[in-house]
């Protein structure tokens, strides 16, 4: 039953309130997941060598204006990536997540939970794809690709480590971090 609820959560039961736009990507200001409202905290563009890779948005139950506040917050969060680049190979995404774990959460990097998370990603991402990372306040980490559930596991340490990839001391992209924090 829990897997069904998570699948429904990630399959697009998000109800838009109103939207804003970034790099041609429409971002809902609020979404509803499992009868809980999450508000767009902020968004930015992930760039690699001047190439726009994806628009990353952070939705949260509580307003998160600093990385420290976000990493300590026990509320539900959703990181939504909408891909802008024509193709991002699966291995590049997996390597980027692994690097983010090493740089921001060394105790989690290489752990069985981190390996299970990385194993969820089995396909390349192409322009227009949406990848959602749900980080539940109870430590649930769920990933979906274009509305299809890739998998879910429960690990509070992993949930914090995934968030730290974006908002930690050594984020994947400083401008994306700033944008996700609403600045």
- Would you state the pLDDT for residue 29? 95
* pLDDT at res. 148: 96
Tokens 């420290």 sit at which residue? 68
CATH number, domain with residue 7: 3.50.70.10
Nearest alpha carbon to residue 84 among 139, 112, 44: 44
The per-residue pLDDT for 42 is 97
Give pLDDT tens digits for 130-142: 999 999 999 999 9
Q: Categorize the per-residue pLDDT at 59 as very low, low, confident or very high, splitting at 50, 70 and 90.
A: very high
Is pLDDT of 17 > 90?
Answer: no
Q: Is 158 helix (H, G, I), strand (E, B) or coil?
A: helix
* Domains of the chain: total: 1
* pLDDT greater than 90 at residue 8: no
- Is the pTM above the cut of 0.85? yes
Q: What is the mean pLDDT of residues 147-165?
A: 97
Q: Quote the domain boundaries for residue 128.
A: 2-180
């Amino acid at each position: 039953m829990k897997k069904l609820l998570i699948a429904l959560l990630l399959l697009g039961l998000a109800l838009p309130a109103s939207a804003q736009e970034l790099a041609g990507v429409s971002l809902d200001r609020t979404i509803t997941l499992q009868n809980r409202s999450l508000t767009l905290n902020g968004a930015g563009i992930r760039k690699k060598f001047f190439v726009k890779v994806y628009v990353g948005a952070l939705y949260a139950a509580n307003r998160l204006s600093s990385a420290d506040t976000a990493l300590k917050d026990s509320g539900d969060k959703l990181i939504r990536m909408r891909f802008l680049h024509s193709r991002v190979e699966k291995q590049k995404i997996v390597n980027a997540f692994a690097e983010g774990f090493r740089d921001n959460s060394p105790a989690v990097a290489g752990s069985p939970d981190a390996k299970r998370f990385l194993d969820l990603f089995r396909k390349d991402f192409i322009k227009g794809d949406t990848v959602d990372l749900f980080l539940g306040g109870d430590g649930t980490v769920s990933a979906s690709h274009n509305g299809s559930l890739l998998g879910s596991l429960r690990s509070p340490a992993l949930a914090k480590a995934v968030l730290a990839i974006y908002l930690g001391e050594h984020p994947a992209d400083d401008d994306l971090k700033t944008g996700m924090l609403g600045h």
